[in-house]
Amino acid sequence: MASDQDLVVETVRDILTGFEPFVLTAERRWDSGLWSALADAGLTGVGLPESAGGSGGELADAVAIVRTLAAGSAAVPVAEQLLVAGPAVIAAGLPLPPVEEPLTFAVADAVTASPAGEAFTLSGTASDVPWAGAARHAALLLPGPALALVDLSGVAAGAAFNLAGEPRGSLALDGVPALVQPLTEGQASELRAGYALARSVQLAAALERVLDWTVQYAGERHQFGRPLGKFQAIQMELAEMAGEVVAVTAVVDAAVQALAHDSADVVLAAAAAKVRAGAAVEVVARLAHQVHGAIGFTQEHKLHHLTRRLWSWRDEAGSELVWSKVLAKGLLADGGDGLWPALTRVV
Amino acid sequence: MSNSLTLAPAPRSDAAEQVRAEVREFLAAELAAGTFRTHVDTWLSGVDPEFSRKLGERGWLGMTWPKKYGGHERTAMERYAVTEELLAAGAPVAAHWIADRQSGPNLLRYGTEKQREEILPRIARGECYFVIGMSEPDSGSDLASIRTKATRNESGDWVVNGAKVWTSNAHESHYGIVLVRTSPADPASRHAGLSQLLIDLSLPGITVNPIRILDGGHHFNEVVFEDVVVPGDMLLGTEGDGWHQVTAELAFERSGPERFLSTYPLLAEFGRRVADTGDSAQLVALGRLSARALALRQMSLRIAAALDRGELPNIPAALVKDVGTTFEADVIDEVRRVVDVTPSLDSPDPLARALAEAQLHQPGFTLRGGTNEILRGIVARGLGLR
């Protein structure tokens, strides 16, 4: 279906053809060449207002870029920059770093800030930081709550990686200067939700691509004299995968709309998106591997680029366990009789 | 992903939200007055002609049909909001459900002017109820194998012989739209030779025999036709085009919110329980179920929006019904895993009652309107696999 985002999607796809996904290692933690190509094309500032140093455009454009890159297994911190850290920095009134320099986001519960002249000095260690060692700047959600913007030049990044090999290391921030703005509890909770929604958008895109690959493989791979896809047992599995993918897409799209319209229920909408997307990974990744057979269990085949990311992203920015409680409590905020009115209001 | 499976997001409808508020107010007043009690799966089991007439008076039946046939020319999105509210409240909507959902639209599409003028206004008033005459004792999922036969007599009328089963509430209904074989079965073209007849259920030669479901409820019937003479002008649509017409009807049959809300009254009781206990495992279960329900609402709303665009999205409807009816059954399992409650139809505890009703109705969810295996076959076709 045609949409206003077709052009931006085409541009990202064109760039991606020059950058095949590779197996990430401690030595090669991200795709800096792809990042430069995206930055040169002005895509690392999309959805961020020009007045703040971004490239302008709508949230829908930024989401389309993130989706396309996620489906392409792109090892770049674009979701963090365009959907989480960038908007958070701007909303807090802090200066957006140049959009050509990768900006990441992390929840840093063990980091504190103390005033030092006009700025602040941090102490503590931030763990599970996406793209630690690759990002040049970080926006950190501190207890308090507050948002800290840190230049990471010279900050040592610990070596830790998610199941897909994406950097999720720690940052030792003792004595590191930062710009800090206090946030309300509501702003902090919306920021966590935005992070979860960013991962949900990535999950939705990757789930859809995994389904496409699996349908294609089932059409190409012959056993017993016919394509796998002609076997009813396989058709049932692929249909079940499709049901999951369509469900995730529907609720993630609705949550993005809630964010775009500044809905008062954006936290619950994002919670629903993250829970539903995470739950779909169980079915889709398992059946994709089942249909692909042994070749899909190797690094020779491309499937792992996305299934390992699915298994990682579902637990990042809060797992289903975390967000299902948030969602249930929010839906019951007006008491047990309020469940239905809440369900019909959230998205 | 294949375009045949995806639909555009539904635009938000202020008109739908307005009528939703009106229905909610109406339902609260009816519940307070004690005119109905909430039950699970009431679009099968809750027959209440008085309630159906009240909905007709308020303009909530035949909502999308032309005004000249008693309809209200409102959108499918508005109708969606009304049906969703009625189901969530567990209101008794079974009497009119089939007529409003699919028989009326079928008559609009294929009926004669006379049939439309006579019958549609009665449906919209909540006074005229329909059954679906598709399945037979030997034809369930394999609908093309039906044997109920209609032959023309010398006066040009149809003589019908055979039997239909699982005809919900035939003992309370006025008409059936019955799929019959009007030409001998042709193994080379299994879908040929089928036609739909509009049959008045009070005609001589029709016997309605009850079939009780697991909880003892009488909703299903076997409807037997013995030399039933049906006037020749009661052919619906085109002779021999029955398969095509049935397929179009299924887009309406499979696409509505009743395909994921049949057990919503159980989820509502569970929500009340969780609000009382604040139990962590129960909160997690409620959150997970709610996320699924929210996704299903968006999927179902997309279908309503597609109907408003004049589309008949058969494949997305099959997919939503597969995912939605699986959810209806899963609500039971998920709730009983985290609440220590013994299901009982006689219990003073509304959660125990809802659980019992849901469990005893559960096998039907993934069978009626096309088994989930058939639906997944349709989705597989949408994926280009067959």
Neighbouring-strand partners of residue B349: none
**Portion of chain B with pLDDT greater than 90, in percent:** 94
Taking CB atoms and an 8 Å cutoff, what residues of chain B touch A335?
Answer: 275
Q: Is A200 on the interface with B (CB under 8 A)?
A: no
Q: What percent of chain B has pLDDT over 70?
A: 99
- The larger pLDDT score, comparing residue B253 to residue A249, is at A249
In terms of DSSP bridges, do strands A111-116 and A119-130 run parallel, antiparallel, or are they unpaired? Answer: antiparallel
User: Which of B206, B240, B274 delimits the end of a domain?
Assistant: B240
φ, ψ for residue A129, nearest 5 deg: -90, 115
Distance from CA of A32 to the nearest CA of B (A): 29
| Mean pLDDT for the stretch of residues B60-77 | 98
* Average pLDDT score over residue span A31-39: 98
C-alpha–C-alpha distance, residues B373 and B367, integer Å: 9
So what CATH class is A6-183? mainly beta
Question: Is-contact A66 A83, C-beta < 8 A?
Answer: yes
Q: Does A287 touch chain B (CB under 8 A)?
A: no
Residue-wise pLDDT for A48-90, tens only, equals 999 999 999 999 999 999 999 999 999 999 999 999 999 999 9
Last residue of a domain, one of B77, B97, B129: B129
- By residue count, chain B amounts to 386
Question: How far apart, in Å, do the first and last CA atoms of chain B sit?
Answer: 16
Helix/strand/coil for B274: helix
Q: Which domain holds residue B283?
A: 246-382
Domain at B114, CATH number? 1.10.540.10
Query: Max Cα separation, chain B?
Result: 73
Same domain, B119 and B230: no
> Averaged over A37-45, what is the pLDDT?
98
> Sorting pLDDT into bands at 50, 70 and 90, what band is B248?
confident
Using CB atoms and an 8 Å cut-off, which of residues 42-81 of chain B contact chain A? none
Q: How many domains does chain B have?
A: 3
d(CA B161, CA B348): 47
Q: What is the pLDDT of residue B306?
A: 93
- Contact indicator for A88, A281 with CB cutoff of 8 Å: no
pLDDT score for B1 = 67
**Last residue of a domain, which of B94, B110, B129?**
B129
Does the bond joining A145 to the residue before it have cis omega, within 30 degrees of 0?
yes
Assess contact for B319 and A246: CB atoms under 8 A: yes
Are B311 and B378 found together in one domain? yes
Domain ranges for chain A: 6-183, 186-346
pLDDT at B3 over 90: no
Are residue B123 and residue B136 in the same domain, yes or no?
no
pLDDT (average), residues B119-132: 98
| Residue in chain A lying closest to B319 (CA) | A243
Query: Could you count the other beta carbons within 10 Å of the beta carbon of residue A225?
Result: 6
pLDDT at B163 over 80: yes
Nearest to A272 among B276, B294, B379 (CB): B294
- Same-domain pairing of B164 and B120: no
Kindly provide the ipTM of the predicted complex, given to two decimals: 0.97
pLDDT one-digit tens code per residue, B210-224: 999 999 999 999 999
Minimum distance, in Å, between the CA of residue A275 and any CA atom of chain B: 6
What residues of chain A lie within 8 A of the CB of B274, using their CB?
328, 332, 336
For A213-230, what is the mean pLDDT? 97
pLDDT of A224 > 50? The answer is yes
Number of H helices, E strands in chain A: 11, 9
Whether B201 and B270 map to the same domain: the answer is no
Q: Is B350 on the interface with A (CB under 8 A)?
A: no
pLDDT one-digit tens code per residue, A321-339 = 999 999 999 999 999 999 9
> How high is the pLDDT of residue B2?
66
Q: Which residue reads 């897409």 in tokens?
A: A249
Is B373 within the bounds of a domain? yes
Q: Is the pTM of this model over 0.95?
A: yes
Per-residue confidence (pLDDT) for residue A1, from 0 to 100: 44
In chain B, residues 83-102 whose CB comes closer than 8 Å to chain A: 84, 88
Residue B45 lies in a domain: yes
Query: Hey, what CATH class is A186-346 in?
Result: mainly alpha
* Res A4: pLDDT: 79
- Same domain (yes/no): B140, B157: yes
The CATH number for B364's domain is 1.20.140.10
Average pLDDT over residues B299-310: 93
Mutate to test the interface with A, among B279, B298, B311 (most CBs of A within 10 A): B298
Contact between A276 and B294 using a beta-carbon 8 Å cutoff: yes
Residue B7 within a domain: no
Residue B303 has pLDDT above 60, yes or no: yes
Band (A108; pLDDT cuts 50, 70, 90):
very high
CA-wise closest residue to B164 among B222, B209, B213, B227: B222
Chains A, B: CB pairs < 8 Å: 164
The yes-or-no verdict on residue A98 having pLDDT over 60 is yes
Write out the two tokens for A32: 């800096």
**pLDDT on residue B252:** 82
